[in-house]
Amino acid sequence: MTAARYVYAFVPGGFREEISSPGIDGSADVGILPLGEIAAVVSPVAVEALADAEGGERALDLDWVAPRALRHEQVVEEVMERSPVLPLTFGVVFSSEEVLAEAISPHRRRIAEFLEYIADKQEWAVKVYADPRKIRAYLELPREERGRLPESPGARYLQERRLLRDLERRAAEARTDAAEKIRRELAPASIAQKSLRLSSRELTGRQDDMLLSAAFLEQADDVERFTERVHRLAEEYGPKGFTIEATGPWPPYSFCPALQVEP
């Protein structure tokens, strides 16, 4: 088999620490490849073993992808604990160190600038979920405010239908308003933010709906203030049927520059 170089991330050129996490193939062979003012976190890998990593049959095989993607992330997160990092997505392979060095050469200055920029910052993820039943229960008018229902069965049915439609409309508005207000409340405490793709119930494994998924870039010294603001919002919106969760810090995938490097 032909040995290639799998790339996990880029770090400042002075980074020389040993990586204890195993590489994507399970071997403890992750190392640092100096590239001038930057360095690449790499491990040797058989080209044939990853030939289908992007777009082939293996890319659709969760049993094959999941453990390797997890090892990729473990390497990136270990490095992040000790250094600024520009993480790469799963599946970036170069045929040799020489090819990697040549491909990355036009981007080294930009990578170095990003690593300097991100050194004192952290990425945090915020997700907002809505429980439809709790929202409707919170919004439903008390009986005395709904008025007395007509005695006639037909008129009563129509009135109940109108009340239900009104409730559903107000619930939909509440969901939209909550997601936007929560985002606006968190924006002033952040350097940057980015909307992320919403996940379905099947993916989250939850019974409530994801309304907001966003990444926030925080100054490291301000993280406590940011998380306190999330906690206050969670307490405010919880009784209304919304759950707000913040997790982090994460590798700064959401704020990395687009390099368009061809392996």
Give the pLDDT score at 189.
78
Compute φ and ψ for 210, nearest 5 degrees.
-80, 125
Q: Are residues 129 and 83 in the same domain?
A: no
Distances from the Cα of 6 to the Cα of 51, 69, 81, 89, 92, angstroms: 12, 12, 21, 11, 6
pTM over 0.85: no
Q: Which amino acid is at 67?
A: P
Judge whether 131 lies within some domain.
yes
CATH at residue 201: 3.30.70.600
Query: How far from 25 is each of 21, 36, 134, 235, CA to CA, in Å?
Result: 11, 27, 46, 44
pLDDT at residue number 172: 86
List 87's β-bridge partners, or say none: 9
195 falls within a domain: yes
DSSP-assigned beta bridge partners for residue 247: 125
Same domain as 249, residue 197: yes
pLDDT score of 137: 83
Tell whether 259 is covered by a domain: no
Task: Compute CA 179 distance to the chain's CA centroid, rounded to the nearest angstrom.
Answer: 17
Considering the domain architecture, whether residues 135 and 88 belong to the same structural domain is answered as: no
Q: Does 96 share its domain with 14?
A: yes
Residue where a domain stops, chosen among 87, 119, 151: 119
Q: Which amino acid is at 253?
A: Y
Tokens of 261: 């490097």
Helix (H, G, I), strand (E, B) or coil at 259: coil
How do the pLDDT tens digits run along the chain, 263 residues long? 457 899 999 999 999 889 999 998 888 889 999 999 999 999 998 766 555 544 455 556 778 888 999 999 999 999 999 999 999 999 899 988 999 999 999 999 999 999 999 999 999 999 999 999 899 888 875 554 555 655 566 665 566 567 667 778 888 888 889 999 999 999 887 999 999 999 999 989 998 999 999 999 999 999 999 999 999 999 999 999 999 999 999 999 999 998 766 55
Q: Say whether both 58 and 134 belong to one domain.
A: no
Shared-domain flag, residues 110 and 203: no
Evaluate whether residue 261 is within a structural domain. Answer: no
Name the phi and psi angles at 147, rounded to 5. Answer: 85, 165
Furthest CA-CA distance within the chain: 85
Are 111 and 130 found together in one domain? Answer: no
Helices (H), the chain: 62-80, 97-104, 108-118, 132-139, 143-146, 153-186, 201-204, 223-237
For residues 113 and 137, membership in a common domain is answered with no
- Same structural domain, 129 and 109: no
Tell me: do 31 and 74 sit in the same domain: yes
- Looking at residue 169, its pLDDT comes to 85
Task: Answer whether residue 157 is part of any domain.
Answer: no
Structural domains counted in the chain: 2
Same domain, 84 and 133: no
Q: Is residue 10 part of a domain?
A: yes
* 89 and 174 within one domain: no
ω into residue 249 within 30 of 0, thus cis? yes
The pLDDT score that the predictor gives to residue 225 is 93
The DSSP code for 138 is: H
Report yes or no on 14 lying in a domain.
Answer: yes
For residue 65, the enclosing domain spans 3-119
Q: Is residue 198 part of a domain?
A: yes
